[in-house]
Amino acid sequence: MRIILIGQAAFAEKTLEKLVGKGEKVVAVYCPPDPPNGRFDPVKQKALDLHIPVRQHKSFKAPEVCDEFVAWNADLAVLAFVTQIVPPQVFTVPRLGSICFHPSLLPKYRGASAINWALIKGEAVTGLSVFWLDKGIDTGPILAQKEVKVEPDDTTGSLYFNKIFPLGVEAIGEAIDLINAGNPPRMVQDESKANYDPICTDAHAKIDWTKPAQEVYNLIRGCDPQPGAHTMHNGKMVRLFDARLQAGNNSPSAGQVTAIGTEEITVAVNGGTLSVKKLRGDGAKISGAEFAKQVELKVGERLG
């Protein structure tokens, strides 16, 4: 097939490698404009290495984008980690339409922060979907899905990079096989099971130490590495990363620092304790012990 790849970062790069390795003809790669530092996106660099044309538009709504898509005479467009809006006048141009990767089991967790919210809400199983684009946001018919088990200490980072990322690249390859075989699946999403969550930001990442231990831990895991679950210390915002929950009895002093170790700090929660290995205040992410020394955090102080 003649394929247009739209995407960015390492996921799009590996998807490009997968498509080319399968013998597909990638006629063009679309990725965002270069950042101010001039460093090329990995998928752009890979495309240039493979002598594949690269296009970088600030918006896919520009008239010239539609003209370009027509000129490529493509059979299919593949969206692999896309943050820009691709409008219908563009994604309907390829002969077979366009397919898109999404890191959840649609129709659950539509939106740009699917992995964050799956963890924040305590899901034990999540996954990924490859679906056909339509006019909605993550609403198109499903082509393929794969489940992923969520381990108790998974973070958004570990779940994506260790599980969903590699499985997603394989799923796109399998989706291409289904399309090549003819009559690929187009399973309509069940709207009664759908949910859409906003982009996970600081507005959602504030720690409420009065919540049960597991809820606090899920928030920290779901916001790791971005945006970073946050609390306050001496009037300044502090972000918590790389935490582990130890179940125990309810504590009347939730949010209180109970120990400072060689690397981590330990914080009481309602139903156990949290060992926090990394924190970030005004500067870079550092160890819990280093942070405690830097801000003169003492055992017995309460965060929040």
> Which residues neighbour 233 within 8 Å (Cβ) at sequence distance 6 or greater?
281, 295, 297, 301, 303
Rounded Cα distance, 41 and 11, in Å:
11
Would residue 299 be called left, alpha or beta, if left means φ above 0 and alpha means ψ between -120 and 50 degrees? beta
Strands 54-55 and 25-30: parallel
Domains and CATH numbers, the chain: 2-193 (3.40.50.170), 213-295 (3.10.25.10)
Q: What is the pLDDT along the chain (304 residues), one digit of tens a residue?
A: 999 999 999 999 999 999 999 999 999 999 999 998 878 999 999 999 999 999 999 999 999 999 999 999 999 999 999 999 999 999 999 999 999 999 999 999 999 999 999 999 999 999 999 999 999 999 999 999 999 999 999 999 999 999 999 999 999 999 999 999 999 999 999 999 999 999 999 999 999 999 999 999 999 999 999 999 999 999 999 999 999 999 887 767 999 999 999 999 999 999 999 999 999 999 999 999 999 999 999 999 999 9
pTM, full prediction: 0.96
* Token output for 210: 């009065």
User: Which is nearest to 17 in space by CA: 172, 152, 193, 197?
Assistant: 172
